Amino acid sequence: MKTLFYVLKDPSNTMDYFHLFLNVKDLRKKNYDVKIILEGYATSVVQKMSDKNHPLNAAYEDIKSAIAAVCKGCAIATKSLEAAEAQGLPVIGNLDNHVALEPYIKDGYSIIVF
């Protein structure tokens, strides 16, 4: 099964992100094809949670390879573009500087808005 988490939530709510990371890790362990798109304030996750002192750093590092796209326009707005690029994450702006969902829908992903 293909699952895409389309994430918009502000990363200051660490409880929400703990649950996201927990589910992504669980689904991947069970051989689901899981991807994450970071949009809006969620793009700042790449800057905040990559900090070794952040309480969710280890969980973030565990799921980071599932990040399929960081919205280019939003990463610029949240000042997270350099962090995303430094981590080698795909920065995408194929829909007016945001991430288009159509390719994922066409490829059969179920989309969960988070």
**pLDDT average, residue stretch 53-57:** 97
- Residue 68: enclosing H or E segment and its boundaries? strand 67-71
Domains along the sequence of the chain with CATH: 1-111 (3.40.1260.10)
Distance, in Å, from the CA atom of 52 to the CA atom of 47, rounded to the nearest integer, reads: 11
DSSP 90: P
How far is residue 108 from each of residues 25, 37, 38, 65, measured CA to CA in Å? Answer: 20, 15, 19, 20
Is pTM, for the whole model, over 0.85? yes
CB neighbours of residue 112 within 10 Å: 14
Interval 73-86: pLDDT, tens:
999 999 999 999 99
| Ramachandran angles phi, psi of 82, nearest 5° | -60, -40
Interval 56-65: pLDDT, tens:
999 999 999 9
